[in-house]
Amino acid sequence: MKLYLSFNCNELRLPVYYHRDVQGLIYNMLSESLGEFFHNRGYVNGSRTYKLFSFSRLEGDATFHKKEKTLTFHNEISLIISSIVPEFINELANNIILSQNLTIRNQHIEVSNVKMVHEPINSSKILVKTRSPITVYTTYERRNGKSFTHYFQPQDEAFKHLIEDGIFRKYEAFTNQEVPQHERFHIQPINVSKRDKIITKYKSTIINAWNGTYEIEAKPTYLEFALSASLGSKTSQGFGLITLVP
């Protein structure tokens, strides 16, 4: 399920790496109990915890200030929030509509449109595009004890394997149902170029991620789940949100 939001703003100035600001806006719109659950706990599968929500990049007419590494959005911005958890989307929608004091970095924004969209899937193959880039990685420990993170590209077999593994782990965490061993979730890059590589930052961590268009083949149940739960890692930090290509 997705929430499509539009906001009026007046010269909204944000850092280029604004993930935490949008994430903070989302958490502030949740009740204390639901916010605490998603922020501190989430859904568990073994040793891993999943928040099962994501959000898109901000879209709107903006000016980039290279020296200050900031963006100024001039009049209107749009945002997509996605989650497989109905309570999360419903509460966000209600609270955003009712709120009279929405702020990002102490700057006022005013909601102008709210649309909730459910995307039922009836086929075993879909074409999707990223609305926030997908990040997939593995962390290794070097001989000196320091960790090293390797980010995979969409053409890598490990990228495809980890996307599949991640979706099935998230599905099991949310449903408490084991995914049969024979099931597959196959993702194939269709239109991905070097220009789709995104290097960004969350807190002090540099993150490599990829935009683009992808074909995904799986059972409709898993495709529908992926459209809401998003793909890859760090989804609750604003990565991996996808939408259908008509």
Residues with a known catalytic role:
27, 39
- CA distance linking residue 174 with residue 76, whole number of Å: 35
Please tell me whether residue 37 adopts helix, strand or coil conformation: helix
Question: What length is written for the chain?
Answer: 246
- Position of tokens 């935490």? 20
Please tell me whether residue 170 adopts helix, strand or coil conformation: helix
CA–CA distances in Å: residue 46 to residues 16, 84, 173, 213, 232: 35, 20, 9, 31, 18
Within 10 A of 68 (CB to CB), how many other CB atoms are there? Answer: 11
